[in-house]
Amino acid sequence: MLGISVRHIEVFVTIAATGSVGAAAQRLFVTQPAVSMALAELERQLNAQLFDRERGRLHLSPRGKELLPMAQEVIERIHEMLRQTGEQPLALSGELRLGTSNTIGNYLVGDLLGPFISRHPQVSLQVSVENTDRITAGLLEHRIDVGCVEGPVNHPQLELISWRDDALVVCAAPSHPLAQRSDLKARHFKDAQWILRERGSAMRVLAEQALTALPPGQILLELGQVEAIKQAVIAGLGIACLPYAATVDSVAVGRLKILDTPFLNLQRRLALVLHKSRYRGALIDAFVQSIFAPRG
């Protein structure tokens, strides 16, 4: 007979989420020795090492990555059973970990999270803002539950759910020579100095695709944040492809100008990303539903 308890599984899932025995003990309100003993017993029962230690943190072993989705499902199904007890189902509670790309996390976070928070105020949301490569890695490593990205993600273990259309726009300072032209053509961008996002970001991929339709220019700067790129453009250091949502305020006060570039394809789709083997419990289902629910 198996001697695996719910507590053993809860300890495994919590260490995977926090990365250390100490942090897991704090979250579970137990001692570190109790957490260490529970993990050791679970590994003995499964005859498998679930974590590798690296630089003081615990990282899932290959076997741990394989078993974590099943362990998460056990815990989430128990929570769902408890919510359904009694005459009235309990309100959703717990923690949902989201990874959002730069544009979504900084400029569309209200649209993304507002409906869910209003419907489920007892759920704790942990939101990290990262580039698409980091979000993909976070999903594969089970560090995050749902990704929200602005570019293509192609991985056999991940599922994309389209959310909304979006677009980049080419911007310059109002004093820039390109901003002075009313008849912009592709040829006018010869030798232009560009400011781009870092490699690994979806915005960088789309900008590079657009640049292939233009004469050769120079990549002057690479910056990791949309806001930093916008400020560099406003300062006249170069031109850039920016998310439209990031430009609205600066354009309105005359600090930034959107260039008319119908010869460039800067359309893109924003999407949710889920791990295919991750159990889509009540929290994840509720979040996905909130994204597509009619706005009142």
What is the structure's pLDDT at 89?
Answer: 62
Q: At what angle do helices 244-252 and 226-234 cross, to 10 degrees?
A: 40
Could you tell me what percentage of the chain is helix, strand and coil, using 3-state DSSP and rounding each to the nearest 5?
A: 45, 25, 35
Task: Work out whether strand 267-275 and strand 158-172 pair parallel, antiparallel, or are unpaired.
Answer: antiparallel
Neighbouring residues of 62: CB distance < 8 A, sequence distance ≥ 6: none
161 three-class SS: strand
The torsion angle over the Cα atoms of residues 157, 272, 130 and 259, rounded to 10 degrees, is 130
Report the 3 state secondary structure along 87-140: CCCCCCCEEEEEEECHHHHHHCHHHHHHHHHHHCCCEEEEEEECCHHHHHHHHH
Euclidean distance between CA atoms 197 and 207, whole angstroms:
9
Give the separation between CA 9 and CA 38, rounded to whole angstroms.
9
Q: Alpha-carbon distance 135 to 128, whole Å?
A: 9
How crowded is residue 148: how many other Cβ atoms within 10 Å of its Cβ? 26
What's residue 1's pLDDT? 44
Within 13 A of 235's CA, how many CA atoms are on the CB side?
Answer: 9
Q: What angle do CA 152, 118, 72 make, to 5 degrees?
A: 60
Q: Which tokens go with 179?
A: 């901003």
Residues of the chain with pLDDT below 70 are 1-2, 85-90, 295-296
Domains and CATH numbers, the chain: 6-85 (1.10.10.10), 98-155+272-292 (3.40.190), 165-269 (3.40.190.10)
